Amino acid sequence: MAPLRGGLELWRELYAPFGVVPFAGGSTGVQMAGWFNTRLKSRADLQGLKMRIPGLAGEVFDAAGGSAVRIAGGEVYTSMQTGSLMPSSGWDPTTTARLGLMEVGDYYYYPGWHEPGAMLETIVNEEALARCQMIYKP
């Protein structure tokens, strides 16, 4: 299968009507699958598992037999502690350490299938970019 090409051109074409030029500005890297209170050995282990996982990923999780729960990030620790929520998806190790999720979850799975990585973008005004020296232009 041939690799897909033309993404940069399409991206810039989509932004052109707004007078801006997008650039890749960094990457978040692959998200963690999350902290779990149970060990996952097969898809069957997802049956009835309540997990904080929003959006399309939550719909996929529901279809796989789990139960997507939509709660605020600040409620995750207490929900996992009381057992009303078993795992929490995503977040990087630094964020989960600040939230203390390692205190309420026994297993930290990687990688997160639901967010293989997010690209951060930098948007520059097209007219301002045209005035820049050549070394700064794409």
Dump pLDDT digits (tens) for 93-136. 888 888 888 888 888 888 888 877 778 999 999 999 998 877 76
pLDDT at 23: 92
Q: At 90, is the pLDDT very low, low, confident or very high (cuts 50, 70, 90)?
A: low
For the chain, the residue count is 138
Measured distance CA(86)–CA(75) in Å, rounded: 12
Is the pLDDT assigned to residue 39 strictly greater than 60?
yes
pLDDT at 53: 86
The bridge status of strand 20-27 relative to strand 119-125 is antiparallel
pLDDT at 122: 94
Is the pLDDT assigned to residue 85 strictly greater than 80?
no
Q: For residue 36, give both structure tokens.
A: 């779990």
Any long-range contacts for 90-95 (C-beta under 8 Å, 24+ apart)? 90/31, 90/32, 90/34, 90/53, 90/114, 90/115, 91/31, 91/32, 91/34, 92/28, 92/29, 92/31, 92/32, 93/32
**CATH numbers and ranges of domains, the chain:** 1-27+118-138 (no CATH), 29-117 (3.40.190.10)
| Burial letters 61-76, b for 16+ CB under 10 A, else e | beeeebbbbeeeeeeb
